[in-house]
């Protein structure tokens, strides 16, 4: 009874979904990420902010081993998803990327129908028992992508025929179709107009209920609107990480302060 504030604080404590320790990334001789340590919470939107070239995308790509696909790229350190080392040689990167989905800067639907864009992942991962089951998965994913109503009457039309904002929501639906646990988004609104941006931001807020979402954004306004946690990167260092409100109102590091007040970046 008497210690209820403490109990409440405990309830607020989110599980750690991803723990990164001593992460270093090199592209040949370029040292792009320098000893980054961070714990990313479940059911939380975490924003990565910082000036262009500071390593936001590079670090994001470490979290689902997308950097494996870049020849010159070398990743060191330890990254655990639910306590399991994702760089362990027994981990299949394709399976990992189904669990840790990704949405890119430019909407990139496959040159296939809306239906097949969503069905692709569930098919290769054998998630559907039969056609009816696959139909259900597609419908559910499109609903979670907040685009079902706009496309339900034209599921067999090409995904590339949608507007930019619809394409991005289709890509988000495609990412959630494989039942991921984490969604990585690299500047997902940078190719969208303000209305489509608003729709995607609203969707990100809803996704937080079920997923751990990590979003790279060059817009501090967007970080402030959608995230609960913010990490500020500068020259490959994670300079400051904390509650979004605190980062924007009471930054602890002078570099963070310079950036949010517009002096660097």
Ligand X SMILES: Nc1ncnc2c1ncn2[C@@H]1O[C@H](COP(=O)(O)OP(=O)(O)O)[C@@H](O)[C@H]1O
* Residues within the interface to ligand X (CB under 6 A): 27, 30, 32, 50, 52-58, 70, 72
From ligand X, Mg ion, none, interface partner of 58 (C-beta below 5 to 8 A by class): ligand X
Q: Which does 32 bind (CB under 5 to 8 A by kind): Mg ion, ligand X, none?
A: ligand X
Closest CB to ligand X among residues 30, 95: 30
- In angstroms, the Cα distances linking 25 to 52, 78, 81, 116, 231 are 17, 12, 18, 35, 17
CB 179 within 8 A of CB 211: no
Min. distance of Cβ 32 from ligand X in angstroms? 4
Based on the shown chain and the rule CB under 5 A, indicate whether residue 212 belongs to the binding site for Mg ion: no
Query: Is there binding between residue 178 and Mg ion (CB under 5 A)?
Result: no
Choose the one of ligand X, Mg ion, none that binds residue 110, judging by a C-beta under 5 to 8 angstroms depending on kind: none
Quote the least distance from Cβ 31 to ligand X, whole Å: 9
| Minimum CB distance to Mg ion smaller for 177 or for 183 | 183
Q: Tell me if 58 contacts Mg ion by CB under 5 A.
A: no
**Contact between 238 and 207 (Cβ < 8 Å):** no
DSSP state of 103: E
The residue with tokens 């027994």 is 90
Q: Which of 213, 164, 225 is nearest to 189 (CA)?
A: 164
* Residue with the CB atom nearest Mg ion in the bound state: 57
Q: Which is nearer to Mg ion, 49 or 172 (CB)?
A: 49
Find all residues with CB under 8 Å of 185, minimum gap 6, and list them.
Answer: 102, 103, 204, 213, 214, 215, 216
CB 206, CB 146: distance < 8 Å: yes
Shortest Å distance, C-beta 263 to ligand X:
18
Q: Which of 44, 46, 57, 197 binds Mg ion (CB under 5 A)?
A: 57
């Amino acid at each position: 009874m008497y210690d209820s504030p403490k109990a409440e604080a405990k309830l607020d404590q989110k599980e750690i979904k991803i723990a990164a320790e001593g992460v270093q990334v090199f592209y040949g001789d370029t040292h792009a990420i320098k000893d980054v340590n961070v714990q990313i919470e479940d059911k939380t939107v975490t924003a990565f902010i910082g000036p262009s070239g500071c390593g936001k995308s590079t670090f994001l790509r470490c979290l689902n081993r997308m950097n494996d696909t870049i020849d010159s790229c070398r990743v060191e350190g330890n990254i655990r998803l639910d306590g399991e080392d994702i760089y362990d040689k027994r981990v299949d990167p394709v399976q990992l990327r189904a669990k840790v989905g990704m949405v890119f800067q430019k909407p990139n639907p496959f040159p296939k129908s809306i239906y097949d864009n969503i069905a692709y992942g569930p098919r290769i991962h054998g998630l559907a028992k039969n056609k009816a089951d696959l139909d259900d998965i597609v419908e559910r994913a499109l609903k979670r992508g907040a685009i079902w109503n706009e496309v339900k009457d034209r599921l067999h039309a090409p995904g590339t025929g949608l507007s930019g904002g619809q394409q991005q929501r289709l890509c988000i639906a495609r990412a959630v179709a494989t039942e991921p646990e984490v969604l990585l988004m690299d500047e997902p609104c940078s190719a969208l107009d303000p209305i489509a941006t608003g729709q995607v931001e609203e969707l990100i807020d809803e996704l937080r209920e079920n997923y751990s979402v990590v979003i790279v954004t060059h817009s501090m306004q967007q970080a402030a609107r959608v995230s609960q946690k913010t990490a500020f990167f500068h020259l490959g260092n994670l300079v400051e990480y904390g509650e979004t409100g605190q980062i924007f109102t009471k930054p602890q590091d002078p570099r963070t302060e310079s950036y949010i007040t517009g002096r660097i970046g």
